[in-house]
Each structure stands twice: as structure tokens, then as C-alpha cells.
């Protein structure tokens, strides 16, 4: 174990033997750090925070702090659970759950860039890329493989489907279905065909998702009409996931501007 002499590590913390802790880092007594983790200078890990293996916690990160929730009671026992292989760059902040027994959960192999914030009870899947200064309010859910552009703001309880591509500098208050590209305030521009191909989704899967995208967002039908028409066909796994996501939305889903012809993301196929 390599711990800088200026770091403060409480005795009760559970730290694997090969963990590295940099200057002036602070690690609280309820923290668990798995093998191969690196905690850089001035990072603060506080409260009940459980890390898997090979996570890199960047300079000045604060992980496990109480939620920014006026209703939060300091007696609540909640936590942050983090998988393995994640990178948290400088000044990332992640707050623990706001209700007793709840957790903020981050999966494996995610990359959160400088200044990102994950509020209480956020759920992030695996292999996401969340660029600088993205702000995820409480209970936001991010699916596997999503790419969130820098400076983007997400309203509480919002869901972002897997393998989406979201333009930076935007803001969203409605759900973003999986496999799509989003480029404006609550606006979709097409499917993320390039992202789907790079992640190994077949031509048939991409075609089905494109077909459903056009049905729901280009045909002029409302959601109920589009769902009724879609139910008349049998779909593969990715298209079925797309349909289930829309059907389960509580906030409503983002829309698109009706256009004639195809859009750039479809033509990129």
C-alpha cells in the first residue's frame, strides 16, 4: 500500500494492499477500495463508499458526500457503490443516496471527465463517456455505452437509454430513448448508427431501430398510434428494448422536428 504521508486515512477504511493514495487525500472510515485503485491528491472519499478494482479517482474529487436535498436527514444510512475500471477525472462529485438504504450506483469501465456531477441515487451503467461538466440531477439513469457531450444538464428522474450520443451544451427534461442521437433541448436528430455499429450491433438491428425511429418521430403519428402500429410486428432484441423504453416512460420522451427525407445520422450508415 502506497499512502502519501500527508493523506488522512481513517483506520476503519478497508483498503487493498496495492492501493495508491496521493497527497492530502482524505479517506473516511466507511470507505472500501478494491485492488489497483488510485486516489490522487486532494480527493475526498467520505461516507459509505464501496469501490471495486482498478478505479482512478482524480485530483480534488469528492465522492460520497451527503446529497443536496433539503429533505435529507443526517441519520439516514445510504451509500455510493462503484464497480471496477472507472476513471473519475478532476473535481468529479458523486453524492450518496438520499433515502435510508438507498444508493448511487456506477457500473464498470465508465469515464467521467472533469467537473461532472452525479446527484443522489443516480444510476450509471457500463462503458459510458460523460464529458466535462455534465450535471446529472437526482435519480437520473444512464444506460450502457451512452456518450454525453460536455456541459449537458439532465433533469431529475430523467432516463437516458443505452448507446445514445448526446450533443454538448444542451439540456434535457424528458427521457432519451436508446440508440438515438440528441442535439437540442429535448430534441432528437436520428439514430446513433455509428455508435451502434462500433458496439457490434448488426445491420438488421440498426435497420429495425431506424424503422421504429421513423415511425415514432418522423411519421406524424402520436405515441399511442405509433405504439399500436409497432405492436403489429415482431421485433428483434434492440428494437424491442427501444419500444419497451418508450412504453415505460413516466416523464415522456424527447421529440424531433418533422423533416422530409432522412437526416444526417441516418445517412451516416
For the segment 164-186, the average pLDDT, to the nearest whole number, is 96
Count the helices and strands in the chain (H runs, E runs).
Answer: 5, 28
DSSP bridge partners of 5: none
pTM of the model: 0.94
CA distances from 163 to 41, 160, 239, 241 (A): 33, 9, 13, 12
For the segment 44-49, the average pLDDT, to the nearest whole number, is 98
Q: Please, are residues 31 and 46 in contact by the beta-carbon 8 Å criterion?
A: yes
Q: Which three cell numbers stand for residue 5?
A: 504521508
Give the confidence band of 169 by pLDDT, cuts at 50, 70, 90.
very high
Given a cut of 90, whether residue 269 has pLDDT beyond it is no
Q: Read off φ and ψ for residue 33, nearest 5 degrees.
A: -125, 120
What is the predicted pLDDT for the residue at 259?
Answer: 58
HSE of 229 in the Cβ direction (CA atoms, 13 Å)?
Answer: 14
Give the C-alpha separation, 267 to 229, whole Å: 25
- Order of strands, sheet of 48-51, starting from the edge strand that comes earlier in the sequence: 14-15, 32-33, 48-51, 79-82, 103-106, 123-124, 141-142, 159-160
Q: Please, are residues 6 and 24 in contact by the beta-carbon 8 Å criterion?
A: yes
Average confidence score pLDDT of the chain: 95
What is the predicted pLDDT for the residue at 257?
Answer: 76
The rounded Cα 147 to chain-centroid distance in angstroms is: 8
What is the predicted pLDDT for the residue at 268?
Answer: 39
Q: Please, are residues 28 and 64 in contact by the beta-carbon 8 Å criterion?
A: yes
State the DSSP code for 56: E
CA angle 118, 119, 124 (to 5 degrees): 45
Give the confidence band of 174 by pLDDT, cuts at 50, 70, 90.
very high
Given a cut of 90, whether residue 200 has pLDDT beyond it is yes
Given a cut of 50, whether residue 265 has pLDDT beyond it is no
Give the C-alpha separation, 206 to 191, whole Å: 8
For the segment 81-96, the average pLDDT, to the nearest whole number, is 98
Taking the alpha carbons of 2, 5, 9, 12 in that order, is the dihedral positive or negative? positive
pLDDT in tens, 241-250: 999 999 999 9
Q: Please, are residues 138 and 118 in contact by the beta-carbon 8 Å criterion?
A: no
What is the predicted pLDDT for the residue at 31?
Answer: 98
For the segment 172-180, the average pLDDT, to the nearest whole number, is 98
Give the C-alpha separation, 43 to 59, whole Å: 6
3-state secondary structure of 211: helix
pLDDT in tens, 97-152: 999 999 999 999 999 999 999 999 999 999 999 999 999 999 999 999 999 999 99
pLDDT above 90: percentage of residues in the chain: 94
Give the C-alpha separation, 179 to 196, whole Å: 7
Amino acid at each position: 500500500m502506497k499512502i502519501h504521508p500527508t493523506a488522512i486515512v481513517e483506520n476503519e477504511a478497508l483498503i487493498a494492499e496495492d492501493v495508491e493514495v496521493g497527497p492530502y487525500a482524505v479517506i473516511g472510515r466507511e470507505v472500501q477500495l478494491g485492488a489497483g485503485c488510485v486516489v490522487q491528491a486532494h480527493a475526498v472519499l467520505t461516507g459509505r463508499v464501496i469501490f471495486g478494482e482498478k478505479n482512478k479517482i482524480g485530483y480534488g474529487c469528492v465522492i460520497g458526500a451527503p446529497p443536496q436535498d433539503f429533505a435529507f436527514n443526517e441519520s439516514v444510512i445510504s451509500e455510493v457503490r462503484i464497480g471496477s475500471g472507472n476513471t473519475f477525472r478532476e473535481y468529479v462529485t458523486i453524492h450518496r443516496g438520499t433515502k435510508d438504504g438507498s444508493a448511487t450506483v456506477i457500473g464498470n469501465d465508465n469515464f467521467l471527465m472533469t467537473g461532472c456531477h452525479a446527484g443522489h441515487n443516480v444510476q450509471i451503467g457500463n462503458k459510458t463517456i460523460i464529458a466535462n461538466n455534465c450535471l446529472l440531477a437526482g435519480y437520473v439513469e444512464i444506460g450502457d455505452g451512452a456518450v454525453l457531450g460536455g456541459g449537458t444538464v439532465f433533469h431529475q428522474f430523467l432516463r437516458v437509454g443505452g448507446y445514445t450520443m448526446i450533443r454538448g451544451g444542451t439540456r434535457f427534461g424528458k427521457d432519451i430513448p436508446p440508440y438515438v442521437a440528441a442535439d437540442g433541448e429535448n430534441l432528437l436528430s436520428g439514430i446513433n448508427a455509428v455508435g451502434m455499429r462500433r458496439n457490434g450491433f448488426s445491420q438488421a438491428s440498426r435497420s429495425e431501430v431506424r424503422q421504429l425511429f421513423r415511425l415514432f418521430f418522423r411519421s406524424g403519428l402520436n405515441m399511442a398510434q405509433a405504439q399500436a402500429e409497432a405492436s403489429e410486428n415482431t421485433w428483434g432484441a434492440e428494437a424491442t428494448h427501444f419500444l419497451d423504453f418508450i412504453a415505460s416512460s413516466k416523464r415522456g420522451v424527447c421529440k424531433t422536428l418533422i423533416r422530409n427525407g432522412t437526416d444526417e445520422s441516418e445517412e451516416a450508415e
